[in-house]
Structure 1
Amino acid sequence: MSKSNHIRILDGNTFVVSEDTGDIEATPSEPTGLFSLDTRFLSTWVLTVNGERLNPLSYDDLQYYEARFFLVPGLATHYIDAKLSIIRERAVGGSFRETITILNHDEKPVDLELRMDVASDFADLFQVKDEILNKKGEIYAEVEPDRLRLGYRRGSFKRETVIASSVPARYDKGGFGYTVHLEPNEQWTARIDVQTHAIGPGGRDLRMGVRSHGTERLALQQDLEEWIANAPKVNTEHEDLATTYRRCLVDLAALRFSPLSLGGATLPAAGLPWFMTMFGRDSILTCLQVLPFTPELSKTTLRILAALQGTRFDDFRDEDPGRILHEMRYGETAAFEEQPHSPYYGSVDATPLFIVLLDEYEKWSGDAALVKELEAECRAALKWIDDYADLVGNGYIWYERRNADTGLENQCWKDSWDSISYRDGKLPPFPRATCEVQGYAYDAKVRAARLAREFWGDPEFADRLEREAAALKERFNHDWWVADGEYYALALDPDGRQCDVLSSNIGHLLWSGIVDADRAEKIAHHLVGPRLFSGWGVRTLAEGEVRYNPIGYHNGTIWPFENSFIAWGLRNYGFAEEAATIASGILDAARYFDGRLPEAFGGYPRDLTKFPVEYPTACSPQAWSTGAPLLLLRTMLGLEPHEGHLAVEPRLPAGMGRIEVLDIPGRWGRVDAFARGRLDLHQLAV
């Protein structure tokens, strides 16, 4: 598969999206630029030599935080006998730095005029995504002797981009330039530093204290090496799996995000380019996926989400006491409450998942102190499930937005407008209750009962939670079961009518444990049957449903993150073969994306396309897609914490070969796991 010509480099809170020349020319259809804290700080960054644009010979996206572009004047074909080479090297690490090197290959000296056109629209990321730029403040440019300052101000909201060069330059409001004389075989170099500033009330730079790896390449490289060294080592005969594993570790490092004012602690941001910020659901699910490999992300994620847990009733933000946030933004539209993400709480699943992650983290880490520290927040989350989420009064979690202008209609993970439907394709009224969220609530109560009994010293509360969980499971298996299809409905409407389509959500029910044992086999057969399973993975909506579309965002695409949890659930119910089938499909797909699974890809049958078809606007890298191969590794090896030890029970897909996972961290210290897959007789015959 060909690479996109959009080159992306990132480091936590800062990222750059450019063309393969290194140029940035933002338009509504080309969302390129230098972004930080939900603001575009550069919308134009175009290099010319003697008034001419440059053409790419090649580029290297060397690490997640740096890239190098090799350019020449004229057309980039093999007929070129270029007398000049231009190399652009750039890195992000709290700021943005670009080094330009020009080499003269001619036998004669040459005089050159270099120009960098520069501009910033200071667009809010929401404005970029919606292709609507409506600035209500003042954009300005100030030329100083040794720098160019671009800025935007609207009341106390102020953003600035400051550009300086290591070589004296001629600055003007539209950019800067150099006059360069090069003798034969001589080279010229200039380093350009771009600093971004986010000024809030009182004139304080909000970026102070934000985690930064530093701007020097050595510091960035050292940070990445330490990150990889601390993770378990994976040795495998399956070369594509080894490539994918390393790619996942590198992308997880890149996606570490530091929320403002929280002391530099990091959690996984959701994904590039649209979601480089804190998401409750996405961060929690990513942490669950990567627990055996990078457990430190879970502790900081839990603490940060607990610190921002809802405390009041706020219809604009869909906030309730005890509710875990959905999304936090720092741009202009959030600052002026033109959208509610400051933070926004319109997620129906993050709250029970918060409890699930805390329990799972303790099982791995033995961190009893954190469980005790977050007792009040867990109790508040459980109260939200019982008292505030049950909008109909029948014991289920429901959702309906209270902010009709900018709130999310669908507040489950399938949050697109048309993702929930009846079998005839019609959309149900609100409020809605989706099946997987009831599974999360069941799991949260079972897990909270353990925490209450073992850590909070409250056995009566534990007994009550267990009774409530058992009652929920019994009621759910009656109300959600679609008798004529032998699967669970996607959702219920407020009258109790089933949204009776066959969907991937039934796989979530397995990993939550809410499925009755005598029905689990039917669910497993659906998940790997031809309507849901494409050969690459489980589709979000089954082929044959009215709204099925193989490239419909939540109506037929394949989401790697979801497949990893489905495989985990299958394995937990004893369906190791089915789990291996899904793991094999997703890991095979990763090979076509150079080990970096996108947010979603098409649900076309594998025998039709022969390769996975990427969804056109998928985020990449994306946190829970990055975590998917790690959870699949855990599932294939059967890694589970058990009575203070790590249990290992491998069941690898055919042809996977030998896998070693060394130095798996946990309450047991560090231990190793080994597995060998069966031979693929078909491959041998070929």
Structure 2
Amino acid sequence: MSTLDTDLVTFTEVRPTAIARATDLGSVQVLKHGNLFLLTDALGDIHNDSRGLGLYRGDTRLLSCSILRVGGSRAVLLQTSVGGNFRGGIQMTNPSMDRNPAAKAHPADELTGRTIGISRDRMIGGGALAERLRIVNHGSKPATIPVDLELGADGADIFEVRGYPREVRGRLLPAATTDRRVTFRYDGLDGLQRLTHVAFSDPARVVEPVTELAPDGSDTGASIRLRWEVQLGPAETRDLRWVSWATERREPPAARDRGTAASDLAALFPDPPHVSADEGIAAYHAWERSTTVAESDHELFNLVIKRSVDDLRLLINEGPGREQRYVAAGVPWFTTLFGRDSLITALQSLAFRPQLAIEILSVLAAYQATEVDPWRDAEPGKILHELRTGEMAANGELPHTPYYGSVDSTPLWLILLGATFDWTGERDLVDRLWPNAMAALDWIDRYGDRDGDGFVEYERKSPRGLLNQGWKDSSDAIRDRDGRQCLAPIALAEVQGYVFDAKVRLARLARMRGETELAERLERDAETLRARFEAAFWVEDQRYYAMALDGDKRQADAIGSNAGQCLWTGIVAPARAALVADRILGQAMFSGWGVRTYALDQPGYNPIGYHTGTVWPHDTSLIASGLKRYGFEEASNRLVSQMFEAAQRFPDFRLPELFCGFDQSEATNPVPYPVACSPQAWAAASSFLFVETMLGLRAHADRGELELLHPVLPPWLGKITLTNLQVGDASVDLLFHRWRGTTSAEVLRKVGELAVTIRL
């Protein structure tokens, strides 16, 4: 770091601003790489509004305001572009200052509108955000152009941004500034001081506090304003650059206000990180090389698949431990480790990227619960629900360190272990994780089945925990046919399916390991569970399965998508599968884009309700796979086709976390859900499971075989090629071709010992 004179450092009080609750994620730009992500408006600005805009890391908002003004005004947007998800560009110009039509013939002497080119290029790498502002004078006269940048950092925990109330929060310390540097400081209640640094390439002419409201009367959250005067002749260009990043330190309270001695300047003004596009480019190239490639004769389909591949890479986080990484659930609210989300994402992605499953299994095993802790809903053997590292979790305001309130993460972990072995044949992985598998099995039988009736149920113990602990975890998600919400303990239909599938898969692994007695017990358990499930969950007068049993063992018999996921697990009796399929594809459940979580003819249906009528792509993908499992290829392909159609109608060909359940006849496009995460992991990975389902891919790596079970391409796909499909140590390229209603399959290339069995 260059030597700084303490006399040149100014400390400015930071004006507290009320944290606006995020209620609408429309029209936001997202960049992410590693654990740092950026959420801005279309102009690249951050301000205190209902979208939760900001620069985030570790569940903390590092920048809550970054507003650019050129020529005294916000710019006019021309276009935006995103490259590789970690960098993006915004092209803008200055607004017209005189709207009088005569001004077109007689432009003003000063800054004529639309004569200044403004580009804002941003890139994330090395744990920092680098920005380059390029200003070009396209006018015929020299111009002096004022450039203002207003900055603010509130240090908000992401739960605060989402609207979780706090009685007391930490303290904003005075910001430290020079003409090239700004450092914001927030003293958290957890004893950690979080610092946000911004370093500039050029000295600002003015560095001053912001005391006034924005021109429109809003409070943007700005605390510091920097100003440059850019002088440009005709056709001249000038660049301004800055880097934003964060550090943390833990100090005794008496030392935190100091910050003025020369010895403190190194902490206040550390050297900026180096940010290079090479890091991101290399990461995405490596990701693409090690991921199965799917290409078809349908250009828009290819764009959806490419977006899914890139989005999964975007969502990769480093940690939580050394040499660990995982796929975060979704930007912005769930950019952390979620058990259920990461497990389902890995299951959906096995045919495209089995390494992801290995990483997820290992990370979650490292955090498997070992003790009873009611505050965190933890019990021995349980797989976590959610891990948070922000101030509120560290301070004990939330139980997320980690929180274990998920009834399904544990059986899903076992399902993934079995499925990963099918695709990789890695006996060493199974042996290494076998103690974790036995602990998970013990949790299912001892803690999951709380009353010994053979069903796994949930009931929260933590006062800050979730009331509902399946994937439909909103408080109003589980109902009976009269619309009444059900009381815990609750046994979900799909969770019984997960447990069934987990025990079937674990039995195979036990037999492979020579543990025959355990394998036989698990097989008996699975068949007993299937029989009990049929007796307890089938609703005869509705010819459908209840979504759950409540605390009194009464059926929560509202019609929902839960039974569709039961098809995916294989617990449904074959004789009843057609009834489930018919209901799923009926008008009340199928919106024309995907499967609603809750049927539209049920009391309490809400097409904008989080789990009471919306469409979730991951849910539809599992249901489509289940339909295929029971032989309903046409119904399965109908779901696949309509979800790909929906993806093509969303920005950037990106499926969001969920969208509204309005019928296709009511709207020409799927209706966005206002605060859906996008990108979101299991939404992105849905595309992969749709492809696997269409093509009937089933791997048996331990015996060197890949089965293609009844591959059926829908009418809009003529052919699809899979390149570098990994099965164990072998790889294969496959071509699927549709001709006159029949799909054929051909092996184009094969490396290693692998038998490909085609069952048309």
Partner of 2:6: none
AA at the equivalent of 1:485: Q
SS in 2 for 1:179: strand
Q: How far apart, CA to CA, are the structure 2 residues paired with 1:186 and 1:595?
A: 38
Shift of 1:595: 1.9
* Between 533-542 and 599-608, the greater mean CA deviation after superposition: 599-608
**Which residue is equivalent to 1:168?**
203
Q: Secondary structure at the match of 1:609?
A: coil
Q: Name the SS of the counterpart of 1:53 in structure 2.
A: coil
Summarize deviations over 1:424-481 as a string: whole Å, max 9, x none: 00112211111000010111111111111113x3211111111111111111111111
Q: Which residue of 1 aligns with 2:306?
A: 246
Instruction: Please identify the structure whose Cα radius of gyration is greater.
Output: 2
In the TM superposition, what are the counterparts of 1:110-149 in structure 2 within 5 Å?
110-130=143-163, 132=165, 136-140=169-173, 141-144=175-178, 146-149=180-183
- 1:464-503 alignment, distance < 5 Å: 464-503=521-560
Give the superposition deviation at 1:4. Answer: 4.4
Q: Is the 8 A contact 2:26 2:674 kept in 1?
A: no
Secondary structure of 1:656's match?
coil
Q: Which residue of 2 aligns with 1:157?
A: 192
Number of the residue aligned with 2:115: 83
Contact 1:655 1:679 in 2 (8 A): no
Look up the match of 2:732: 671
Partner deviation per Cα, 1:374-407 (whole Å, 9 max, x = no partner)? 0110000000001011123211111111112x21
**TM-score, normalising length: structure 2:** 0.85
Cα distance change on mapping 1:582 and 1:344 into 2, 3 Å = same
**Which of 47, 53, 63 is matched with 1:32 structurally?**
53
> 1:684: which partner in 2?
none
Query: Residue 96 of structure 1 aligns with which residue?
Result: 129
Describe the SS at the equivalent of 1:227.
Answer: helix
**Which one of 300, 320, 325 corresponds to residue 379 of structure 2?**
320
Residue 618 of structure 1 is aligned with which of 676, 685, 699?
A: 676
Q: Which of 2, 20, 23 is matched with 2:42 structurally?
A: 20
Shift in Å, 1:632: 0.3
Is residue 74 from structure 1 mapped to residue 106 from structure 2 by the alignment? Answer: no
How many angstroms does 1:610 deviate by? 2.8
Aligned to 1:430: 488
**Residue 422 and residue 215 in structure 1: after superposition, are their counterparts in 2 closer, same or farther (change >3 A)?**
same
Q: Which moved more, 1:120-129 or 1:602-611?
A: 602-611
2:245 to 183, 192, 195: 195
Kept in 1, the 8 Å contact 2:71–2:94? The answer is no
Matched, 1:55 2:76: yes
1:603 to 644, 649, 661: 661
- CA separation in 1, counterparts of 2:187 and 2:321? 22
Measured against aligned partners, the alpha-carbon deviations of 1:194-247 in whole angstroms (never above 9, x if no partner) come to 1112345899xxxxxxxxx98311221122122122222222112221110101
2:466–2:473 Cα contact (<8 Å) kept: yes
What per-residue deviation string (whole Å, max 9, x for no partner) do you get for residues 507-561 of structure 1?
A: 1111111111211121122121222112211111112111212222111111110
Match of 2:451 among 381, 392, 408: 392
Asked if structure 1 preserves the Cα contact closer than 8 Å seen for 2:70 and 2:145, the reply is: yes
Matched to 2:668, the amino acid is K
Distance in 2 between the 1:133 and 1:313 partners? 27
Q: How many residues align?
A: 666
Amino acid at match of 2:712: R
- Once the two structures are TM-superposed, the CA of residue 172 in structure 1 deviates from its matched residue by 4.7
CA RMSD of aligned residues (A): 2.1
Q: Distance in 2 between matches of 1:286 and 1:201?
A: 40
1:236 maps to a residue whose letter is: S
Change over 3 Å in CA distance of 1:621–1:555 after alignment to 2: same
Deviates more, 1:73-82 or 1:617-626: 73-82
User: What secondary structure is seen at the aligned counterpart in 1 of 2:247?
Assistant: strand
Cα 1:236–1:178 change in 2 (3 A) is: same
| Aligned-partner SS, 1:130 | coil
Tell me by how many angstroms 1:365 deviates. Answer: 0.6
* Residue among 15, 29, 41 paired with 1:7: 29
Separation in structure 2 between the aligned mates of residue 185 and residue 132 of structure 1, nearest angstrom: 52
Aligned pair partner of 2:475 in 417, 422, 425:
417
Give yes or no for the alignment of 1:177 onto 2:227.
Answer: yes
Q: Does 1:46 align with 2:67?
A: yes
List runs of 5+ in structure 1 lacking aligned partners.
204-212, 682-686
Choose 4-13 or 487-496, whichever is displaced more: 4-13
Q: Please state whether the residue corresponding to 1:557 is helix, strand or coil.
A: coil
For 1:152 and 1:602, the matched residues in 2 are separated by 38
Deviation at 1:289, TM superposition (A): 0.5
Q: 1:120 to 1:135 in 2, by over 3 A?
A: farther
Aligned equivalents of 1:75 and 1:286: distance in 2? 48
Distance in 1 (alpha carbons) for counterparts of 2:229 and 2:674: 42
Separation of aligned partners in 1, 2:403 and 2:432:
24
> Retained in 1: the 8 A contact 2:296–2:720?
yes
Pairing partner for 2:561 from 498, 504, 526:
504
Q: 1:214 to 1:341 in 2, by over 3 A?
A: farther
* Alpha-carbon distance in structure 2 between the residues aligned to 1:548 and 1:410: 18
Do 2:180 and 2:202's aligned partners in 1 also have CA atoms closer than 8 Å?
A: no
Match of 1:209 in 2: none
- The equivalent residue for 2:280 is 220
How many angstroms does 1:107 deviate by? 2.8
CA distance in 2 between partners of 1:555 and 1:515 (Å): 23
Q: Does the CA-based 8 Å contact 2:365-2:433 persist in structure 1?
A: yes
1:431-470 to structure 2, matched below 5 A, reads 431-455=489-513, 457-470=514-527
Which of 660, 667, 680 does residue 721 from structure 2 map onto? Answer: 660
AA at the equivalent of 2:228: Y
> Structure 2: which 5+ runs fail to align?
1-24, 105-111, 210-223, 256-272, 743-760
Amino acid in structure 1 at the alignment position of 2:683: S
* Contact 1:123–1:133, Cα closer than 8 Å, also in 2: no
CA distance in 1, matches of 2:670, 2:27: 19
In structure 2, what is the Cα distance between the partners aligned to 1:118 and 1:565? 45
